[in-house]
A and B are shown apart, each in its own frame.
Chain A
Amino acid sequence: MKFTLSWLKDHLETEASLDEIVRTLTAVGLEVESVDDPAARLAPFTIAEVVSAEAHPDADKLRVLRVETGSGEPLQVVCGAPNARAGMKGVFAAEGSYVPGTGITLKPTKIRGVASNGMMVSERELELSEDHDGIIDLPDDAPVGTSYASWAGLDDPVIEIGITPNRQDCLGVHGIARDLAAAGLGTLKEGTVELVPAAFPSPVEIRTEDEEGCPALYGRVVRGVKNGSSPAWMQRRLRAVGLRPIDALVDITNYLMLDRARPLHVYDLAKLDGPLVARKAKAGETVEALNEKTYELAPSMTVLADDAGAHDIGGIMGGERTGVSADTTDVLIECAYFDPVSVARTGQALSLYSDARARFERGVDPGFLEGGIELATRLVLDLCGGEASDIARAGTPPTEKKIVSYDPALCASLSGVDVDEAEQARILSELGFDVDRAFPWSVTVPLWRRDVDGAADIVEEVIRIHGLHTVPSTPLPRGEGVAAPTATPAQTMERRVRRALAARGLDEMITWSFVSDAEAEAFGGTSFRLANPISADLVAMKRSALPSLVSAARTNLDRGARTVRVFELARRYLDDGERPTVGILLAGLSREKDWRTGNEAGFDIFDAKAEALAALAAAGAPTDNLQVQAGASDWYHPGRSGRLMLGPKTCLAEFGELHPRTARAMDVGGRVAAAEVFLDAVPAAKGKRARPAFAPPALQPVLRDFAFLLDQAVPTADLVRAVAGADKSAITEVRLFDYFEGAGVPEGKVSVAIRVTLQPGDKSFTDEELSAISAKVVAAAEKRGATLR
């Protein structure tokens, strides 16, 4: 909401400075977003007289002026304006002036060989209007040498404030003035409305057939108007706040909307066909609105119509068909109360914003229909002439006042500030509330404050005017002793996994929760697809933590990254809920070419498996007890992927290399390894604080190596587990250290070498005991189809 200082002073009797006003506006909750003081910008421009205007010796369209500026000798100025002539008064910019419309700082110059000092400016050059047909032409009585801005009334500071959705009353200058007066910045001018006597009965029938959407509709005819330009003062104010003056009738409605937060509409009576009726739109009915767009309406929407159909979207925008023009002679002024919810719903459905909607959907003052139409009539008569009918009224605006029961002690208990009762009562009555101080107070809410309906709102009114700076900083009561831990087990788990993976060399990413349909499709589709996405790339909620990590990897590789090792603590958005999931992605090189380790290498399934296990270990999962199953979700390579299972049903993680088809769909080259760790499936760690006594074995362990030939179809882990179980009292560790196929190994077999750690108890193993254990190992292996090499 923009307004000018002089406009404010129409409503507020005040001696306060601009600074004080700006500070107070923000302090009472009308946050000042900007202050533009054109006086500063227009300071260099003064009124000057053109003493003589000669033709330029070398240019037909230029003239050489001698300009009297009011100080010193007349200056020579070369000017191209067609209206430049001897004897005229205009606006002069001396050298050194910054001309806002051109962005140029003036320097003495020569134009086609003739010296020119400063310039005579147009309105566009001062950013006053788009007018650039000639230089500004001032009346003869304009005083030479004085500031143009102050002479023309252009030194009126423009203040822009943000209006929160509860304050429709401050979408008018009068309401802003009321708040400032209550805050002690002066006296509100009541702005009593003078009634315009009726010269004849209204010739137009007014009806509301939709009392829900339009409870009240008033109309008044003015005959014999002349719709020219509005006066300069009105145009200046409208322009200052960013509105384009149209013609007197339209400007009057805009002016009153800003002045009193009261939207109005003026129809050309000649274009109205029959009565003015508020009704619900008919299905498929269309309105060509004043913004030159056509809207198709639904039967839930309220329109104003005549016999020829709907012409106005109620409370939002007038129609092209019945609008006024320069030829208009008879008008109907309309002043209505539209239901806020209905206006909001219609506006949302049509995606149509307007200043009127902003006010109606917040709820205009239902007690000011009469005042609004009287003010409008007065202005029309004053600016356009004519004579007014009486007011035709249909329906009744909802003017029942709310009364709030209020205990003034609530102010201290809610805000922490004990504002004394007399001051509370003063503030409320200055804001227009009626206060009955018999306990508990009965506070009657003014009709323009639709937002206030409870005791806490009354406290808010009191405290915002009294000043939030008076709220005393008060420590929260603190529990005894050291602060207790507050993180849940799930939060602790996430924090550990995050820092564990980062410590292993992975970078944490945070990526969009939604991806494109194609990306979602490559990773199991989506359970939730946005109805109103911001773009087609961000539409489908992920069912896997991977797609956006793959996209990020691709972007980084395209940019020249050699290795991408990333993870994200994301959610998978599934039909039955959101699941905390760690996505892990490894792409590019796992190892650079190196003088110690030789050639470069990429990532494979086992890198992904290692990261998944590390994440699970950090999450506190029992990694020693997990079984590995071959195969994972569709987006993995079917032969190079697996699941880490806890028991037969609980999958803690999937890992593997991306399916080539998935990689192609995601447009990422090379072998990409990935894993997803399902944190919600990880069992809670059992809280064992104390540990058993430390009892290290007295004797050194003994190592024995074995090599077996194994069927390729048998998972090696089965062999390892079988060996580990061959003699549980002696075998403490079994480690695979070699695995190969090919040369020297029969077809369909692999050579598997394992190292078994044997831990003696009280006595060293005898040779016989060692032989016996070896025999058990071999026997256990043979049960899995392995043969000793």
Chain B
Amino acid sequence: MTADIDQQTADWLARIAAADSPSDVEALRVEALGKSGAITAQLKTLGKMSPEERQTTGAALNRMRQEVQAALTSRKEALEAAELDRKLTEEAVDVSLPVDHGRTGSVHPVSQVMDELAEIFADLGFAVATGPEIEDDWHNFTALNIPEHHPARTMHDTFWFPKEEGEDAPKLLRTHTSPVQIRTMTDGEPPIRIIAPGRVYRSDSDATHTPMFHQVEGLVIDRGIHMGHLKWTLETFVKAFFETDDVELRLRPSYFPFTEPSAEVDVRCSFAGGKLTITSDGDDWMEILGSGMVNRRVIEMCGLDPSVWQGFAFGVGIDRLAMLKYGMTDLRQFFEGDLRWSGHYGFSPFAVPTLSQGVGA
């Protein structure tokens, strides 16, 4: 009897192996193990068997049922896997097709450099101050110790507005960010540490001058501040901004009505191979900014006592800093709005200057 069952098992397994679709497998399952399936019917005879018969034939029948069941399951899975493979093959696409992943815009180099400056000077304790671009004569000139008809005024190529009724002097477009010094000193109390970046205007136009450009003003007013502090601040700034410790500055006596003593500041550099490098090994000097100790008269004019408070100020062209650091050669292009220029010189919005990542993009 058990030999017969073994034969039946072999027959079932052969038929299952030969099934070539999930529905064939299902038909075989019904035929073998369904409610009225052949193996089901055989198992129903177990109850009528003697205990001895049940031990032998019964065990053999159960074994057959398990083996057939296992074969059915495994065959079904194999067929389904093959079916899925075929379906996936049919679904394959040309992965080389291009997709539009959106575009990232750009941040203007002047904005980027302003953010860099804010970051560097924040570490030195300088806040960022602002002021109006349409200024009055007093803030732009008089309070800065440039009285009317001072020869320094003619150096400024000022844009004027027509004189309005009731005005002592016509309004103007600020020629430098220095009026923010005045506003800061008249509005607040020392100690003061600020930088004031912003747009300034002079009626001048060529490859290195545009009628509008950007400056940043620095101002420190405190007790006991002297030119040595100015020199250190500028050295520290230049090192941080140009990301090199190999910096040598030269202070050169100069003249600005609002500082006394005044100094132009040059940085040692090299133009070897037509390329500007800031290095203390260079054989050239490049003027980068003007500075000095705030003129006592300016401090007085802002209502502070110059025997208590003194300090320094400096002013530097932001566009020029950008050009020196990032290699633009024509200032005019900064303001022409050419998208090709933005693509070439603009910065990723994600390149936020921070002290931990570095202030250079």
A residues with a Cβ closer than 8 A to B are: 26-29, 31, 164-167, 340-341, 344-345, 348, 361-362, 412-417, 451, 454-457, 459-460, 463-464, 468-469, 471-476, 478-479, 483-488, 491, 495, 498-514, 528-534, 538, 541, 548-549, 551-552, 555-556, 559, 561, 564-566, 569, 571, 573, 577-578, 592, 594-597
Contacts and interface: CB of A to CB of B under 8 A. Distances in A.
Contact of A532 (B126, B159, B254): B159
B155 interface: yes
Contacts, number: 252
Contact of B261 (A415, A469, A486, A597): A415
Nearest to B224: A413
Contacts of A532: 159-160, 203
A257 to B, nearest CB: 17
Contacts of B170: 531
B152 A469 contact: no
Given A415-B261, A512-B212, 5 more contacts: A414-B261, A468-B250, A534-B211, A541-B134, A596-B99
Interface in B160-193: 160-162, 170-171, 173, 193
Nearest to A477: B222
B97 interface: yes
Contacts of A488: 127-128
Contacts of A508: 105-108, 111, 342, 346
B280 to A, nearest CB: 14
Interface in B192-221: 193, 199, 201, 203-205, 211-212, 220
A474 B229 contact: yes
* Chain A CB within 10 A, most for which of B126, B203, B224, B295: B203
A472 B235 CA distance: 12
B255 A164 contact: yes
B151 A502 contact: no
Interface stretch (B45-53, B64-72, B84-92, B329-337): B329-337
A552 B105 contact: no
Contact of B296 (A164, A416, A456, A561): A456
A511 B228 contact: no
A536 to B, nearest CB: 13
A269 B15 CA distance: 140
Contacts of B220: 476
Contact of B339 (A456, A464, A507): A507
Interface in B113-133: 115, 118, 121-128, 130, 132-133
A167 B226 contact: no
Contacts of B151: 165, 344, 361-362
A531 B161 contact: yes
Contacts of A362: 151
B301 interface: no
A29 B261 CA distance: 11
Given A499-B352, A509-B108, A341 B149 contact: yes
B297 interface: yes
A486 B335 contact: no
A510 B160 contact: no
B252 A483 contact: no
B104 A505 contact: yes
A188 to B, nearest CB: 19
Contact of A513 (B155, B199, B228, B350): B199
A305 to B, nearest CB: 23
B253 interface: yes
B26 interface: no
A423 B254 CA distance: 21
B125 A26 contact: no
Nearest to B285: A26
Contacts of B336: 552, 555
B353 to A, nearest CB: 10
B142 to A, nearest CB: 14
Contacts of B155: 165
Contacts of A503: 104-105, 349-350
A506 B105 contact: yes
Interface in B260-275: 260-264
A597 B100 CA distance: 10
Closest 3 CB pairs of A and B: A552-B337, A29-B253, A416-B228
Contacts of B232: 473-476
Interface of B: 97, 99-100, 102-108, 110-111, 115, 118, 121-128, 130, 132-134, 148-152, 154-155, 159-162, 170-171, 173, 193, 199, 201, 203-205, 211-212, 220, 224-229, 231-233, 235-236, 250-255, 260-264, 293, 295-297, 310, 334-340, 342-343, 346, 348-350, 352
Contacts of B211: 512, 534, 538
Given A345-B149, A483-B125, A578 B133 contact: yes
A199 B334 CA distance: 68
Interface-centre pick from B118, B193, B228 (highest chain A CB count, 10 A): B228
Contacts of B126: 486
A491 B128 contact: yes
Nearest to A363: B151
Nearest to B337: A552
B205 A165 contact: no
Nearest to B260: A456
23 contacts: A28-B253, A31-B254, A345-B149, A361-B151, A415-B293, A460-B261, A463-B261, A474-B228, A487-B118, A500-B349, A502-B348, A505-B103, A505-B104, A508-B107, A508-B108, A510-B111, A530-B160, A551-B337, A552-B338, A555-B337, A556-B338, A559-B340, A594-B100
Contacts of A478: 124-125
Contacts of A165: 150-152, 155, 255
A165 B258 CA distance: 13
A511 B337 contact: yes
B133 A476 contact: no
B161 A459 contact: no
Nearest to B131: A578
Nearest to A455: B296
Contacts of B160: 530-532
Given A341-B149, A459-B261, A578 B337 contact: no
Contact of B203 (A475, A499, A534, A541): A534
Contact of A548 (B261, B263, B337, B343): B337
Contacts of A29: 252-255
Contacts of A474: 226, 228-229, 231-232
A473 B235 contact: yes
A344 B149 contact: yes
Most chain-B CB neighbours within 10 Å: which of A556, A561, A564? A556
A529 B149 contact: no
B184 to A, nearest CB: 13
B64 to A, nearest CB: 48
A413 B307 CA distance: 11
Nearest to A527: B134
Interface centre among A29, A551, A573 (most CB of B within 10 A): A29
B252 A468 contact: yes
A488 B197 CA distance: 13
A486 B233 contact: no
Contacts of A473: 228, 231-232, 235
Contact of A484 (B125, B236, B254, B260): B125
A476 B229 CA distance: 6
Given A502-B106, A566-B337, A454 B150 contact: no
A507 B128 contact: no
A529 B171 CA distance: 11
Contact of B337 (A505, A509, A573): A509
Nearest to A548: B337
Contacts of A556: 337-339
B248 to A, nearest CB: 10
A573 B134 contact: yes
A510 B110 CA distance: 8
Contacts of A451: 255
A505 B126 CA distance: 32
Nearest to B160: A531
A50 to B, nearest CB: 45
A557 to B, nearest CB: 10
